[in-house]
Structure formats: structure tokens, C-alpha cells
Chains A and B, each alone.
Chain A
Amino acid sequence: DIQMTQSPSTLSASVGDRVTITCRTRQIISNLLAWYQQKPGEAPKVLIYRASTLQTGVPPRFSGSGSGTEFTLTISSLQPEDFATYYCQQYYSYSYTFGQGTKLEMK
């Protein structure tokens, strides 16, 4: 199985900040990597898929990049509704793996 290491586990930031979350794997994977946002009591919601494609309806302040073993999610200017937990997820060989999550909290 592919191991996903997501960092940081917690991130404190303020409205208007630019933040970056990183997901690393030990082996090179395809670009079939996605990012999700989850708020308490809700199901996850996909933000980015195929490493850098913005899901329809997601604000353009969210962006994804990376390839090989390192991928990033960037929020260019934090809004109040962005404080949530974020997960990366990859697909490889009929198996899906999630990162451990990053809780984005208000500073």
C-alpha cells in the first residue's frame, strides 16, 4: 500500500493568510491525487483532483500542485469558511489511501 504523509497535522492561521499543506509519499505515484475539505459533522468535499484540477464550484483561491512524491494544497487568501480539516488522497492499483489530515484552525 502507498503510505501518505501529510503535514502539518495542525496549522494556525488568520483570515487573509496564504497557507500550504503538503502530502508526501515514499514512492512515486501518478497524479491521481485529490484534496478534500471536511467540516465537523459533515462528509468530506472534494476540492482538487488529478493533483491540480479544481472541482466545479470550488473557489479559485484553492489550488493544487506537485508530482512524483510531493503534492501541495494552497489556499491563497484564507476566508472564515476555510477553517476545517483537509485530507489528501491518492489512488493506485485498486486501492485508495488518505493522508492523516491537517486541521486548519484560527490563530
Chain B
Amino acid sequence: DAKTTQPNSMESNEEEPVHLPCNHSTISGTDYIHWYRQLPSQGPEYVIHGLTSNVNNRMASLAIAEDRKSSTLILHRATLRDAAVYYCIPIPVRDDKIIFGKGTRLHILP
């Protein structure tokens, strides 16, 4: 399993963009990069995933480095409801196991 490195915590102001980094230098060529987040008192929820190209959805954008050894989750305009622990997880295609790390605890300041 590819190892990931994420900051333990980050802070951002409300209504500003947030860039959450993740290093995954041992990622395999067939691993997809998934991001999940866990809001307080809730189970984790899927945010976004990608392989090589940058990806956008209604929740966030995912920027993947050309060498795939790092990626950045981008929240374009953070709200208080985005305060959560964000997990970056490389997952082999068709694998059914998610190995969670410690993630990044994101604090949003009003």
C-alpha cells in the first residue's frame, strides 16, 4: 500500500480557497488517488478521485502532479461546514479496501 503524508492540521478563513496537500511518493501506476472527509460526529464521505488528470466536481477540485507523487485537494470557497478531517488515500483499481491514515484536520475560521 502506498504511504501518504499529510499535514496534521490546517486553518483557513471562511469564504477563501483552501489547498490541502498530500504526498504519495510510493504510489503505484494503477492507484487512483481518492479523497474522503469526515465531518464531526459523522462517518467519512467520498469527496473526489483521480488518476492523472485534474478533476472537478461539485464539492472540490483535485490537482495531481505530473509525476503523480503528490496531489492537492482544492476547496474553492471554504465554509464553516467544510471543517473536517480530510484523508488522501491511494487505492488500486478494483480494490475493495480503504486504508485510512491520520488525515488533515481542517479548521475554518469565521
Partners in one complex: no
